Structure 1
Amino acid sequence: MSNALVELHCHILPGIDDGAKDLDMSMSLIRKELQDGAAGIVFTPHFYYERISVEQFTARRKAAFLQVSAACKAEGLRLAGKMGAEVFYSTALPSLDLRQLAFAGSNYILIEFPTTMHPPGIDETLYAIRAQGYTPILAHVERYPFVTEDPTLLYNWVCDGCLAQINATGLIRDGHTAKWLHKLIEWNLVHILCSDCHHPVKRPPNLAEGFAHLPDKVARRMQRNAIDIYLGDDLRPPEPTKPVYRFGHWV
């Protein structure tokens, strides 16, 4: 797996969230991941504390995972896969059985914030999660207006031990979002690149294309980070730079 790509954020499991609607779509997504060079995938269906219990969620996830595993075996597809979740933020998260939501065999847990508001209690909640021995991975940090408006929030979370993930699409489109992502990367505030794929056409797997939009050194580091996270190893990311607001711009 040393030279392979690893997908840590995707919605490939069938019929469990707003991703693949059935097994046929799941397999289409997996074939594309393999074509891109992915050797490992952490399947991360959405988990919402207010909508479903951890027990119900893990039962549904296991059933969907077994479907995909059997289909891959039947097709002879060589792929390492494990279960995870994209956990929607709630101040109640520290009270849950986080072991069931973290990436299997590791202490990494993928957490998504709302995109419509700056929710209360983030610092305290992330601290409580870290105090239990888990490392939060903050999903697609480019999508949160409150982070764009004040990236020192992200700087503080990274300094405290969180990791940040971005979606490949933001780099590929090469617009305002791409410029912002390159700033975050320059400040060492981004650690992982994922596809967050949902659909073969509308939101496809695009890891290889995303990595092609990164400087070689950054791409190699993020590729290695994803492998280490998949294996449950510790990361030692470079020291972040605190963004400074000058003359109407973050520098």
Structure 2
Amino acid sequence: MLKAQISCFQINKRRCSDGLVVFLFLGQAVYFMYYAPGFLQWLLFDITSICAGIWTNMIAFVCGFGLVNFFASKMMMFGYTSWILEWIGRIPYMHDLIWRRRTQIKFTLILTLLMSASMFISRDWIVVKHKTIKLRNFSADGGHLKLAVISDLHAGASVYTEQIHQVVEKVLENPVDAVLIVGDMVDAPVEDIEERVRPVLQLPVHAPTYFVTGNHEYYYGDVHEWLRFYRNGHITVLENE
């Protein structure tokens, strides 16, 4: 009976280890998805980005408790600092957080899952921020100019037509003098995600729209195909201007 329990424990331990290795691999693989073919992005980007987000949240707590364990052991070597640590340990739950590894693991897992879930739920929330910039000798009509600035939408991978459309709708709800698209709009070639980006072509009907490239436009295919796409949609492309 004891041998069977040990064997079962070893099997479960091995499964957990294998699962952790796969999880870590997927979390790091997200950085290579930007350079992967379109079909591979479609297949793996969502799951790798989720794993990367969970890993990022988890590693913060792992490093934090690593520091707690290190300094706590050092503080116990001196009378005054050990007294401080014992005093902190009288606070409910603090003793277990400092000294019990199992409590630290539970705390890390629970907080990681809560933070990751909140990030996943809020990932498509769009917040419009209003900034007022005062310039001397400004000569616009009426002394003011209202601009809508759009940046880093990264269409492709896990950003689809719906998300692009939501951003465009937010801009259309606000009367502006011009729309500025300031780069990193896409993470795929034109032939793969042209339809996803098409909602952006509604913007020139709303207000004069200008586009400048970011670094991501140069990562996929021929950047001039994207510039041609914007120009054909009556968006003014600025190059070295």
More helix, by proportion: 2
Structure of larger gyration radius: 2
The normalised TM-score by structure 1 is 0.30
The normalised TM-score by structure 2 is 0.31
